[in-house]
Chain A
């Protein structure tokens, strides 16, 4: 069971000792050890960490995902396992066999869940009743394959309500930087879980980018996205005060993986929930029964102490 996320900023060397990950700070002469099967994710943030090939190979073998960041601290790379499933061809065939009508049904469910989560988030932030009614109208009129493009309409209302009417997605400002960072962290978590289950990330449901390797990850990340939006709009003041994404912000965005969501009336951490979603998609491919697909619901939680979490 893997649960620990390491964010490497000051330490400058990763190596392997006794089968454990050794993190060294050469200046302060500090060494720390972490067991491989405790690790979930390692984020390399500075650009001076050296690491050995053996570490890379061991991390990949234990399905720990390694995220590399660029100069702006934005994640731009993910290293993960090549072949760690015992039956890759069967799964690939299952994925290819997916019919068009099945994809349409699946995408409808995903979009519905995303809009539902957006509505939940807007409710938490106390948005106006008018936009909430608009959103629930969108929610009720999602068609197969989202033919009437409710997702984009809902996203437009959602973004306007959260970040003001002048907000443009994909322009270069601090809000977009924070959104991109959060989305990338979530999407890479999904990619690695997909790989773990032997699924091919480029065979998506709705996304069909010919040059995109992560079509399926971007499909499944949709219902999780409003979590990042929620975080950004609750921290919008401190974000706008800074030009670039602050260290504390990045830390909290990575920590979104440890927040809670609900699946089947049970509380899970996001990492756990991703596992359940991917597993359910895998089961769906085998059984073709739509009820098998599970998607997360974002609801508001009271602050929980870290001790409670271990007791579950």
Chain B
């Protein structure tokens, strides 16, 4: 399953900027990778991990702005049609393979 987080955070004052950086860094430290700007995705092995991660995000959410999250299954995620652009290297290695050769 994939947990997606979409955010729009105000970025004008210094304190807003700080809050935004903190939230983004929190996502990255928890294994999220950037799919597009402001859209972060984490690969979760099962529904329980999704629930745990969602709780964690809720605890660390920024005070203002617009943040949403959505969990979809692996199949739905793989059905995303890319019209323009391509997957980043990081994204292409985020799959459910048990063994990764590097």
Q: Residues of A with Cβ closer than 8 Å to B? A: 1, 3-11, 18-20, 23, 25, 30-33, 35, 37-38, 251, 254-255, 257-258, 269, 306-307, 309-310, 312
Contact check, B89 vs A30: say whether CB atoms are below 8 A apart.
Answer: yes
Contact check, A11 vs B102: say whether CB atoms are below 8 A apart.
Answer: yes
One digit per residue, 1 when the CB lies within 8 angstroms of any chain A CB and 0 when it does not, for chain B 35-71 equals 0000000010110010000000000000000000000
Of the residues B49, B74, B90, contact of A32 by C-beta under 8 Å: B90
Contact check, A307 vs B89: say whether CB atoms are below 8 A apart.
Answer: no
In the complex, whether B23 has a CB less than 8 A from a CB of chain A is no
Contact check, B102 vs A8: say whether CB atoms are below 8 A apart.
Answer: yes
Contact check, B31 vs A35: say whether CB atoms are below 8 A apart.
Answer: yes
Q: How many residues of B contact A (CB 8 A)?
A: 23
With both chains docked as a complex, state the minimum distance between the C-beta of A273 and any C-beta of chain B, in angstroms.
14
A–B complex contacts, Cβ < 8 Å, 5 sampled? A23-B102, A32-B93, A38-B31, A255-B99, A306-B96
Contact check, A258 vs B45: say whether CB atoms are below 8 A apart.
Answer: no
In the complex, whether B79 has a CB less than 8 A from a CB of chain A is no
Contact check, A20 vs B102: say whether CB atoms are below 8 A apart.
Answer: no
Write out the residue numbers on chain B whose beta carbons fall within 8 Å of the beta carbon of A258: 98-99
Chain B contact residues, majority secondary structure:
mixed
Contact check, A7 vs B100: say whether CB atoms are below 8 A apart.
Answer: yes
Across chains A and B, the number of contacting residue pairs, with CB separation under 8 Å, is 70
Q: Residues of B with Cβ closer than 8 Å to A? A: 1, 25, 28-31, 33, 43, 45-46, 49, 74-75, 89-90, 93, 96-102
Contact check, B98 vs A35: say whether CB atoms are below 8 A apart.
Answer: no
Contact check, B101 vs A35: say whether CB atoms are below 8 A apart.
Answer: no
With both chains docked as a complex, state the minimum distance between the C-beta of B86 and any C-beta of chain A, in angstroms.
15
A10 to B75, CA, bound (A): 30
A29 to B30, CA, bound (A): 24
Contact check, A310 vs B99: say whether CB atoms are below 8 A apart.
Answer: no
A171 to B92, CA, bound (A): 43
A25 to B1, CA, bound (A): 29
A23 to B89, CA, bound (A): 12
Given A4-B100, A9-B102, CB of A310 within 8 Å of CB of B46: yes
A38 to B94, CA, bound (A): 11
Contact check, A251 vs B102: say whether CB atoms are below 8 A apart.
Answer: no
Chain A residue nearest in CB terms to B92: A32
Pick the most buried of B1, B89, B98: most chain A CB atoms within 10 A of its CB.
B98
- Known contacts A19-B29, A32-B90, A254-B99; 16 further A-B pairs (Cβ under 8 A): A1-B45, A3-B45, A4-B97, A4-B99, A5-B99, A5-B100, A7-B102, A9-B101, A9-B102, A10-B102, A20-B28, A35-B30, A35-B31, A255-B98, A255-B99, A309-B96
